[in-house]
Amino acid sequence: MNQVFLFHKIPSKEWFKNTLTTIKSIYNFVSIDDIESYYCENKRLNYSCHITFDDGDISVFSNAFPVLKEMNIPATLFVSPKVIKNGSNYWFQELIYLENTVGSLQIINTLSKVMKCSFKSINNFSLNSLFDSLKLKDIYRVIEEIKRKNNIECGKKFNMTKDNLLEMHSCKLITVGSHSLNHPILANENDFDCENEIKESILQLSKMLGEPIKYFAYPNGITGIDYNNREKKILNENGIKLAFATNYGGFFKINTDQLGIARTGLSRGNKALIYSKIFFCPVWELLLNLIYRGKTDRNERKSICKTNVFSYE
């Protein structure tokens, strides 16, 4: 039984240390190189786990990095090099800021006008599901229109700096992998833009770090919705050895697809919740569907794609 864990934001050093201590009571921590060796060199892994982070939120540097060094635990950080290099925010961080500033109703109203669809057809969906169903260019069209109409800018920076990233990379415990160039939902993009997002992110990150990039995490990362065989083919052609999804289903085995390794997301909660997610990860989505009566983001995404409310081919 082996598992990969996914973190985005780290609320505090204390919470993260307690979480790792809980995980350590079940698993042995291994590096991403060990997982590659498991697939490519028949290395044995049993009750092993690996820690990963997506995006590069500043809390990963300030709260997670010191704890990883203190506990001597290897981890992999997946970032979009363009965002880190430019000191900018991801589009979803801007969206959260705008939602807190102008409210979701105005955002959905603007979205309906920009995308020329009825307000009624999209009003019952969550903002996350709606924006995860858009092409990147349309996401920015909506965000920029909201900013223009309200004369606002997001002044807060949410992510670590390039120097922060290089400091983490210089630590032998931390491996850095690609998370695309701008964090689009890759499956929404055309062939050219999809390949450019993947290939350029690998090239730019390799140049930034001075070494080849072998690992990738899909933005959002749901198999069959956010990425498919097209994306895996591009990764394979660009030297990626392992790629990570966000599917529930948790445990990885030797016959698990190397370019679609599931991860168990952890973002908050006490020891009891963490134990629950670890042991029930194969049926976690089923539990969420029961709790939320089927109205999870994943189910909403499927419904949006099926009804084609944004008239994408």
Residue 130: closest CA among 300, 312, 306, 285: 300
DSSP state of 57: B
Number of domains in the chain: 2
Q: At what angle do helices 13-24 and 271-280 cross, to 10 degrees?
A: 50
- Whether 260 is in a domain gets the answer yes
Residues 115 and 262 in one domain: no
Residue 15: closest CA among 67, 72, 73, 70: 67
Residues 107 and 218 in one domain: no
Per-residue pLDDT, averaged over 207-234, amounts to 96
Residues 255 and 121 in one domain: no
Q: Compute the mean pLDDT over every residue in the chain, rounded to the nearest whole number.
A: 91
Per-residue pLDDT, averaged over 47-59, amounts to 97
178 pairs with which residues across the strands?
79, 216
Residues 141 and 186 in one domain: no
DSSP state of 227: B
- Whether 309 is in a domain gets the answer yes
Residues 100 and 236 in one domain: no
Tokens of 297: 């983001």
- Whether 262 is in a domain gets the answer yes
Residues 20 and 143 in one domain: no
Give residue 308's pLDDT: 74
Q: What is d(CA 210, CA 10) in angstroms, rounded to the nearest whole number?
A: 28
Hey, which of 2-6, 231-235, 261-265 has the most confident mean pLDDT? Answer: 231-235
Residues 243 and 131 in one domain: no
CB 68 within 8 A of CB 15: no
Q: 0.85 cut: is pTM over it?
A: yes
Q: What is d(CA 251, CA 262) in angstroms, rounded to the nearest whole number?
A: 7
Residues 83 and 94 in one domain: no
β strands within the chain, DSSP E: 3-7, 28-29, 48-55, 75-79, 174-178, 215-217, 242-244, 264-265
Residues 253 and 303 in one domain: no
Which residues lie closer than 8 Å to 163 by C-beta, 6 or more apart?
Answer: none
Q: HSE, CB side, 13 Å, CA atoms: give it for residue 65.
A: 21
Cα(first)–Cα(last) distance of the chain, in Å? 41
Give residue 295's pLDDT: 61
Count CB-CB contacts under 10 A for residue 268: 10
Domain with residue 45: its CATH number is 3.20.20.370
Per-residue pLDDT, averaged over 188-204, amounts to 98
Percent of the chain exceeding pLDDT 70 equals: 92
Residue 225 has pLDDT above 80, yes or no: yes
- Whether 258 is in a domain gets the answer yes
Q: Which domain holds residue 193?
A: 3-87+162-268
Residues 182 and 261 in one domain: yes
- Whether 275 is in a domain gets the answer no
Per-residue pLDDT, averaged over 70-82, amounts to 98
Q: Is 46 exposed, middle or buried (0-12, 13-18, 19+ CB in 10 A)?
A: exposed
Residue 298, amino acid: R
Residue 215: closest CA among 201, 197, 196: 201
pLDDT digits (tens, 9 = 90+) for 134-173: 999 999 999 999 999 999 988 899 999 999 999 999 999 9
Q: Computed from CA positions of residues 211, 209, 9, 183, in that sequence, does the dihedral angle turn out positive or negative?
A: negative
pLDDT digits (tens, 9 = 90+) for 83-133: 999 999 999 999 999 999 999 999 999 999 999 999 999 998 999 999 999
Q: How far is CA 17 from the centre of its chain?
A: 22
Instruction: Kindly indicate the confidence band of residue 292, based on its pLDDT and cuts at 50, 70 and 90.
Output: low
Alpha carbon distances (Å) from 24 to 49, 72, 298: 9, 12, 30
Residue 53 has pLDDT above 60, yes or no: yes
